[in-house]
Amino acid sequence: MRKLAEQKANSFCYLVHWIDTGNVWGPFLYRGENATQEFVRRIDQELVHINEVLAIKHERIETEEDKKRFAEADTCWICKGKIAIDREEVKCLENKASWLNNKLENTPKNLEDYKALTTQILKVTKAIDQVEAMDIKVWDHCYITGKFHGSAHRDYNLKLQIQDWKTPIPVIFHNFQGYDSHLSMKVGQLKYIDSMQFMNSSLISLTKNLGDNHPITTKHFKKLSYTEEQIALVEVYPYNYIDSHDRFQETELPLYHEFHSTLKGEYHDIYLKTDILSLADVWTEFRKMSMEYYELDPSHYVSASSLSWDAQLKMTGVRIELFTDMAMHDFTEKAKRDGISMACQRYFKANNPKMGEAYDPSKPTSWISYVDATNLYGHSMSQYLPIGNYQWEASREYLLKNPAMQKAYLKMVLKAKPNARHGYFLNIKSHFPLKTHDYLRDLPPAVENVAVGKDWLCPYNAKLVEQLDGGRFSATEKLVPHLGPRKNYVIHYQELQYYVKLET
C-alpha cells in the first residue's frame, strides 16, 4: 500500500460565543509550527477565562412586570408542570415504602436481598421528597445576565444553576468525527460536539441556507473593511499545495489548477476565519430553531438522534417503562431480526408502443415502474408502540393444555386493531400452506435465523462447495427467507395478521 499524502495541522482558528449576551470573543487565529499543541494550550487558557466569568453570579433583575408574572404563576416554566404536590403519587410512594420496610424486617441481613431492599427504600424515600418539593416555587433567573426566566420548581432551578469548573462547555467542530478529531484532544471540562452529527451537509451548503442571515460573520469582516463579495470568493482550500510554512510567505495565489487543493498566507487566514464565523452563525441559527420548536438546546447533545429522542419524549409527555423481567426482555428481543441481504437478478420485460420494433401488439401492454419504499424505520416508529404496563398474557404451557383458550386468544389477537390500547407479541408455531408457495416463493415472509445445512443447498451451490472447498461444509446461522415450518417464532401481532391474510 502506497501512502499518497500526510496531512499535519498548520493552523487553527476559534471564537467564543456567549449565547446569553450575544458577545463574541475572537476569532483567534494561529498559523505556525506545533499547531495542535498550541491549540490545546490556547483552549486551556480560554477555559480559565470562561470560568472566571461564570464565577461572577449576577444579582437577579426584578422588574415590576417580572414580579407580577412570578406572583401569578402556578406552572413551572422549565417542565411546564403545575407547582403543586401530587397527593396521589405521594400516597402511592408511601404505600410502596411501607411494603418494602415490612419486607425488610422479615429479611435476614446476611442475604443479598437485604441490601437490594435497602437501596429501593432509599430511592422511594428520595422520590417522596422530590414530589413533596413540587409545591415550592422559586424565582429562576439567568446567572450571567440576571434576567428573569420564570417561576420554577425548586429542584429544577437547582439543576439549571451554572457552576464554574463543573458546567460542561460545548466546543463545536464541523465534521469532528470524520477528520478534525484526529488533530485534537479532549480537555477536561470541555465537551466536544460534531455539528455534522446534527446537520449532515458541508459547511458551505449550510452557510448558503442561511441566505443573508449571518450576523457574526458580517459584523467581524465589516470591521476589517472586507465586502461580502470578497468573503464569498473564499470557498476553496488547496491542501496539496501547502507543503510547508514557507508557502504562507508567497504574495500571489497559486495557479487555478492548484486550487483543487491549495492555500497561502492572507488567503489562508481569511478562509479559516470565514469557516469559524460561518459555523458560529450556522450553529446559532440551528440552536435558535431547536429552542423555538422543542425548547431543547442542541449544545447539550451529541447528535440529532439524541436530540430527537428527548424531543419526542418532551412533546408527547410519554414515560417509557423499562423491563424489569429479564425473561420478558429476552422474549421481545427474539422478535428483532434486522433485514435480509442477498444477491439477486431482477428481470421484467415491458411491452408497450414506445418500445419501437420490440413492441408486440399481439401481447398485453405493460410498463415498468420502479417503486421503492423509503424511511422504513421512520414509518415503523410512527406507529403505535409499546411504552409500559408489560404483562404476560398466558404461558405456553397453559395454552398447550387448553386448546379452547388457545383458539380464543388467537381470535382475540387477530381481531385487535392497529391502534388498540393493548398490543401483543406472540410465540407461535406455524407453516405456510402448500397452495401459497407459488405466490410467496419469490419473497418468502417471516424471515428466520436458521442454521443453513448442506441439504439446503441448491445443486449449483453444492457444486461450488465441492469445487472451492473440497466438499468441506459447516452449517452457519443466517437470516433466511424460506417457506418451511416455524417453531418458537416470536412475532408482533400486526405481522401475524398480515401473514394470515397471505394464506387466504
Bridge partners of 380, per DSSP, are none
Side chain identity at residue 319, one-letter code: R
What is the rounded average pLDDT for all residues in the chain? 84
Mean pLDDT on 121-145: 86
Torsion of CA 313, 319, 325, 327, to 10 degrees: -40
* Tens-place pLDDT, residues 290-331: 999 999 999 999 899 999 999 999 888 888 988 888 999 999
Question: Is pLDDT of 146 > 50?
Answer: yes
Distance CA(161)–CA(297), nearest Å, equals 15
Is the alpha carbon torsion for 405, 409, 412, 414 positive or negative?
Answer: negative
pLDDT of residue 183: 43
Read off the pLDDT band of 108 (50, 70, 90): confident
Task: State the CB neighbour count (10 A cutoff) for residue 242.
Answer: 21
Please check whether residue 297 is in contact with residue 291, taking contact to mean a CB–CB distance below 8 angstroms: yes
pTM of the model: 0.68
* Tens-place pLDDT, residues 426-460: 999 999 999 999 999 888 999 999 888 888 888 88
Q: Which residue has the cell 397452495?
A: 435
Mean pLDDT on 178-188: 54
C-alpha cell at 287: 440552536
